[in-house]
């Protein structure tokens, strides 16, 4: 697997302009009245044990003590979301994807291997295709899957149709797709965190899958190494884009609730986490304590501790040396 790092997949232009573009886009969204009410329960486990977590770009995010879900509360409404995805921010993100296109292909190589282990042929619906990096990776992998794309961004769809004229393309929200369609597989890459009406969304995905069909998706893991260190400063706290942020526990609850069987959760690309945390700790000492607390807590977990033991041994960082020398002939 190619080593994937933060700077490889996030262009310098994006890193410099992201906060500026988010502020501008959020202001445009706030100009639209939000008719959604604040919820008193978690959208995943329905617990009322929720608390205010952080405010970003004028949107408040709550957190559930029971399943650790982080969610926008109140959720932005459809008009605000449409403004975000079809406004300047949507175009900015699409251009960023274009500029980092080749560097992002390796992200999908491993995912495609996983898909092909379960599904070698048939119809695959890719939801939130953006400008089609995944589609290009599938083509290069010489997939036998028949791929369709569902993408609400008009700008992204124009780019998609030019690059992949053979792909069936729906410039629409998933909820508007005809219920008569059915697929052997559905993919969703870093998109579920953007979904507001999560239960309706999962119900739709379930209805579009044939019996025995697979749902493949990725999303940020808010109980991961990088999230534990970055905390409320994490770069992916981006409402009204990211409005439902998951972890393995909340994912399982969501899937169980909607009748899916959870086969496996994988967390590849650890190099991305490490490179992101390296950027943080090299820029300030603010996160040093978080790093220490993270290791202290993880050492209570046998699997983590055993893995760490292997790591320091393999990298010559253990406290005892075995030296082997030879006198040259």
Question: Which residues, given as ranges, of the chain have pLDDT below 70?
Answer: 1-2, 324-327
Range list of H helices, the chain? 6-9, 12-30, 78-85, 88-99, 101-118, 133-140, 154-163, 198-208, 225-230, 248-257, 270-283, 288-298, 302-314
Query: Which pLDDT does position 40 carry in this prediction?
Result: 98
Query: Which pLDDT does position 18 carry in this prediction?
Result: 92
Confirm if 261 and 269 have CB atoms less than 8 A apart. no
DSSP string, 115-171: HHHH-SEEEEEEES-TT-HHHHHHHHTT-EEEEEEE---HHHHHHHHHH-TTSEEE-
Taken in order of first residue, the domains within the chain and their CATH numbers are 6-275 (3.40.50.150), 284-314 (no CATH)
Closest CA to 83 of 35, 124, 30: 30
Q: Look at the alpha carbons of 133, 134, 139, 142 in this order and tell me if their dihedral is positive or negative.
A: positive
Query: Which pLDDT does position 86 carry in this prediction?
Result: 87
């Amino acid at each position: 697997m190619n080593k994937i790092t933060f700077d490889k997949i996030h262009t310098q232009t994006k890193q410099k302009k992201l906060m500026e573009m988010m502020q501008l886009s959020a202001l445009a969204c706030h100009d639209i009245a939000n008719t959604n009410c604040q919820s008193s329960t978690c959208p995943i486990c329905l617990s009322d044990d929720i608390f205010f977590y952080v405010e970003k770009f004028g949107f408040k995010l709550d957190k559930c003590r029971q399943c650790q879900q982080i969610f926008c509360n109140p959720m932005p409404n459809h008009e605000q979301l449409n403004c975000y995805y079809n406004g300047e921010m949507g175009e900015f993100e699409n251009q960023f994807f274009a500029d980092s296109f080749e560097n992002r292909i390796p992200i999908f190589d491993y995912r495609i291997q996983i898909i092909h282990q379960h599904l070698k042929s048939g119809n695959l619906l890719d939801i939130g295709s953006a400008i089609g990096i995944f589609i290009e990776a599938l083509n290069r992998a010489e997939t036998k899957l028949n791929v369709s794309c569902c993408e609400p961004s008009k700008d992204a769809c124009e780019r998609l149709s030019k690059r992949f004229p053979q792909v069936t393309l729906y410039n629409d929200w998933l909820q508007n797709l005809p219920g008569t369609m059915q697929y052997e597989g559905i993919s969703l890459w870093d998109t579920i965190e953007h979904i507001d009406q999560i239960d309706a969304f999962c119900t739709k995905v379930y209805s579009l899958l044939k019996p025995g069909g697979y749902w493949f998706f990725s999303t940020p893991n808010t109980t991961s190494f990088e999230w534990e260190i970055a905390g409320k400063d994490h770069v992916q706290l981006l409402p009204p884009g990211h409005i439902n942020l998951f972890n393995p526990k909340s994912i399982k609850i969501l899937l169980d609730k909607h009748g899916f069987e959870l086969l496996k959760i994988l967390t590849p690309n650890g190099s991305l986490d490490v490179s992101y945390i390296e950027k943080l700790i090299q820029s300030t000492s603010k996160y040093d304590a978080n790093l220490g607390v993270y290791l202290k807590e993880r050492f209570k977990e046998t699997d983590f501790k055993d893995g760490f033991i292997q790591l320091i041994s393999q990298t010559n960082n253990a406290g005892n040396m075995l030296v082997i020398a030879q006198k040259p002939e």
